[in-house]
Structure formats: C-alpha cells, structure tokens
Amino acid sequence: MTVPSRLLSSSVDEDVQRWLKAGVDWRPASGERERIWQAIAGEAGKVAVALAVAEVARESTQVAASAGNAATSGLLGAARAASVGAGSTKLALVVVALKAVGVGLGIGAGLLVGGHAVSSHHIERPAATAPTPATTAARLVEESAKVNAQIRTSGSAQAEREDSVPQESNPATIPSSASIRVSSEATGTSRASEPSTTAHPLHNPAPLTAAEEAQQLEQRTATQTLLSTAPSMHHDAVRQESRLVSMVRSALRQGRAASALETLSELDQRYPSGQLGEERAVLRIEAAVLGGQSGEASRLAERFVERYPTSLNLDHIREVARVSRRSKQ
Amino acid sequence: MTSDTTNLRSLYDAEFPFVCRTLFQLGVPEADIPDAVQEVFLVVSRRLAEFEYRAKLRTWLYRICAFVARGRRRLAHVRRESPYDDLDCDERLSMEPSDPSDLTVLNSLLGQLNSEQREVFVLFEIEGWSGPELAEILECPLPTVYSRLRLARTAFFAAVDRLKAREQHLMRKVQL
C-alpha cells in the first residue's frame, strides 16, 4: 500500500495549490474569538443553572407536598391564635396573638417557598455558608428567650395592673388565678373551672411557641440556605458523580471488577437519582461481566433494555450480554 | 472563574482556529461559523469532565465539529439559496465573471464532493492529518481511508476541470 503525499507538497496545478493554501491559511475574522467566547461563557452558565434548577425542582416535588401541609397547619394555628387575641382587649393577648400570626405566616410562607428547594439526598450543605447546628441552636435559644421576655414583660405588667401580683420569675409559673381573671375579663365568660393549662394563652405558651418557633426557624434557615446555594452545590454534585464514574471506568479498564462495583455502590448511595444513570447502568453490566456474574449481567442487561429502549448503548449492551451468555456456557 | 471555566477557556484559546477551520471546511457557511463554534464549545463544556484523553483531543474535537456541521447542514434555515438560482443557464453565463476569492473557489469545489470524500480530503490535504490518524478519527481501516482519499481527489479534480471549462467558456463569451 503506497502512502499518498499531500497535494500541497506535490507538483499539482498552480491554481489548485493556491486554493488549497487558502484553506490552510483561513482564519476567522479578528475580534470574533472574544465575542464568541462571551456567548459561550454565558450559555455555559445558563446550561449549568438550568440543569441545577431542573434537578432541584424535580427532587423537591415530594417535599413540596409536605411543606404545603405544614404551611397550612401554620396558618391554621395562626388563625386560631388570632381569634383568641381578637376577642381580647388586653395587651398581653394581642402581643401573643400577633406573634402567633407572624410565626404562622412566616413559617407557612417559608415552607411554601422552600418546598421548591428543600433538601435532596445528595445536596450537601457547605460549611462555609450553612449555619452549623451549634450556631443555629444558639440563635434559636436567643430568639426564644426574646419571645419569653416579651411575653413575660407584657404579661406581668398586665397582671400588675390587674391585681398587683408580680410575675417576673417565670412566665410559665404565672398563677392561674391571674390568668383566669385576665381571660374571663377578656371574654366575658367564667373559665375558672377549666384547666389552667388550656384556659389562657399566657399560661403555658412560651415554651411551646419557642419550641415550635425553634423548629420552624431551623427549617426556614435550611430552606433559605438551600435556595441560595443549590445550583452551585448541584454543579459540584454532578462533577463529583462524573469523577466517580470515571473511577469506575478506570477500574474496569484495569480489570478490577470488585473495585468498580464498590464505587458503583457508593454512587448509588450518594446519588441514587444522579445525572449519569444510564452510564452507570452500562458500567454496572460491564462490571458484572468482568466479575464473572453472568446471571446478574443478563438480568441487568434486560432491565437496561426496558429502561432505556432508545439508548445508543443498546447494541453495546446486547453484545456484552451475548458475550456473557457465551462465557457462561 | 472556576477551574472548569479556566480549562474551557484554555482549550478554547488553543483550539479556536482549528474548530473554525474545520467547521468551515466541513461545509458550514462562513456566516454561521460563530454559531457553530459556540455550539461545539458548549458540547465541549458539558463533556470536558468526562473526556479521559483516551482519544487525542483534536480527534474528539473533530468528531464534535463533524456532528455539529452535520446538524447544521440538516437545518432548513441554514440552507441558503444562491442568488443565481433564479437565473437560467444562459443568463448565468452572460454575467460578468466575478473575481471570487480563492477560499470561495475552494469551498465551491469541496461542495461538489460527498460528505465522506469531503471529510477525508479536508483532513488529509488541508489539515495535514496522516492516514493512520484518519483511520482512527473516521473509525475505518487504513486502506478504506486511502480509497476514500483517491475517490475524493478524483471528484475534486473533476470539479476543478468543470470550473476551468466554465471559466474558459465565459471568457470566450466576453471576448465575443
């Protein structure tokens, strides 16, 4: 077989040489390079964000339903508290009612918004941006202390005005008699016979509200953190998944089926619905064949054909399955 | 700027001329080159993390270029009509011979080769790839590469002959 030489280096027609040279020397117009790069950089960013948003939206669908329910509960609770407060002319009750409405609405709205981005299995909260459990807890304790102090102040001031009983020590130990008096005066009905723990919102609201608020604040904080960091974290997750898939490929090339299967298991744990599902399925079949698990390989191949009927890898998978069957026989 | 973007930028800077030239020589109209280049590098940006350097970088890039060029050829909106399409043969021949650039002539000649021939001709004659490299990139045996190249050259010189015959005919008409 003779190796042909290029026309440009042989003695062909001068015109042909000139035309070919024009092809070799052709360069895009100056200035195009940077303009095209700007467009590429912009588009590449959009693609990454779109992928991240789509993934986050998909994976938060299940969470959105429960978040919606929680929001409804929050609003109902707020409405109940507001109805109690509305009948009262007392400052303490109004403060509590408003606080309850605020908390209810805030949590409801927060959870509704958060429903679109609440945690997926592989979105990891980066330490740099997410509050640590310790800081979150400290902030929640501080917030609940403020709530308690406000309730205590208003509650005790009111009580002092009513019957001159000091209430500074602990809002949870406000004498039920005072509470009952306030409540009955506010509603115009006697509740002396009702248990004090349920008769008055001031009697035992602070610990409950603080606990609820703590939980809800934590949820809201987590949601906001995820909203602000989900795209970049998702991008990292895809990159990490891709790296692990590359490791699997490398292991398979080196004939290390066990290592490949181990990495694939890790992938399943970390990214159960990752972006490279089809690629991972192919690699799993190859790893099974390499590891001598012919039956498993055939089963996986059948599942692959069902799951990815239009895959470009179908021929490859069928070939792998055929080889696997032959080696089994 | 992330490391991925930095990698992409380096690759872009190094391979921009190659990608532009390849797309142009694969039949993408010059006006569509910026869009096609953008398309190529968007594919590269999505796939770069998976590229394991098992193939040569240029081989990989060429395949993406070929894929993009094929896609663009299929797009109806880039199939531009020639301004001369409405003229009949005599009208065309009666027009003053223009002075097209060498590049336009080359593109016109390459346009008369089928896609397989054009591919092998461009890569061998213009880009200077060797036979074995072409066998790898085109995923076919080396004798097939040389066979395609021979047919491509025959088709190319036939197109050159037709062009020269047409020029001579036009010159004669102008002289008359």
Q: Give the per-residue pLDDT at A286.
A: 85
Rounded to an integer, what distance in angstroms lies between the CA atom of residue B69 and that of residue B82? 19
Q: Which of A143-147, B25-29, B141-145 has the lowest mean pLDDT?
A: A143-147
pLDDT category, A214, cuts 50, 70, 90?
low
Q: Which of A30-44, A77-91, A273-287, B3-17 has the lowest mean pLDDT?
A: A77-91
Q: Which of A3-12, A156-165, A291-300, B112-121 has the lowest mean pLDDT?
A: A156-165
Q: Which of B109, B107, B116 is nearest to B151 (CA)?
A: B116
Q: Which of A170-174, A297-301, B46-50 has the lowest mean pLDDT?
A: A170-174
Tell me the two tokens of residue A71.
């929001």
The helix (H) or strand (E) run that includes residue A218 is helix A205-253
How confident is the prediction for chain B on average, in pLDDT?
A: 79
Tell me what percent of the residues of chain A surpass a pLDDT of 70.
39
Query: If 0-12 CB within 10 Å is exposed, 13-18 middle and 19+ buried, where does residue A309 land?
Result: exposed
Q: Give the per-residue pLDDT at A3.
A: 76
Q: Give the per-residue pLDDT at A298.
A: 84
* Phi, psi (deg, nearest 5) at residue A179: -60, -45
Q: Which residue of A has its CA nearest to B52?
A: A246
Q: Which of A44-48, A100-104, A215-219, A232-236 has the lowest mean pLDDT?
A: A100-104
Rounded to an integer, what distance in angstroms lies between the CA atom of residue A26 and that of residue A44? 27
pLDDT category, B170, cuts 50, 70, 90?
confident
Whether B20 and A20 lie within 8 Å, measured CB to CB: no
Looking at CA atoms only, how far is residue A27 from chain B in angstroms?
A: 6
**CB-CB neighbors (< 8 A) of B146 in chain A:** 1, 3-4
Tell me what percent of the residues of chain B surpass a pLDDT of 70.
78
Whether this model's ipTM surpasses 0.90 comes out as no
Q: Which of A321, A70, A1 is nearest to A219 (CA)?
A: A70
Decide if pLDDT at A218 tops 50: yes
Per-residue buried b or exposed e for A60-73, using 16+ beta carbons within 10 Å of the residue's own CB? beebbeebeebbee
Q: Give the per-residue pLDDT at B121.
A: 93
Cβ atoms of A79 and A88 within 8 Å: the answer is no
Decide if pLDDT at A54 tops 90: no
Rounded to an integer, what distance in angstroms lies between the CA atom of residue A216 and that of residue B87? 76
Within an 8 Å CB–CB cutoff, is residue B154 touching chain A? no
Predicted confidence (pLDDT) per residue in B78-88, tens digit: 454 444 444 44
Which of A23, A36, A43 comes nearest B106 by C-beta? Answer: A23
Within an 8 Å CB–CB cutoff, is residue B122 touching chain A? yes
Coil, strand or helix: which one is A300? helix
Which of B38, B101, B109 comes nearest A39 by C-beta? Answer: B38
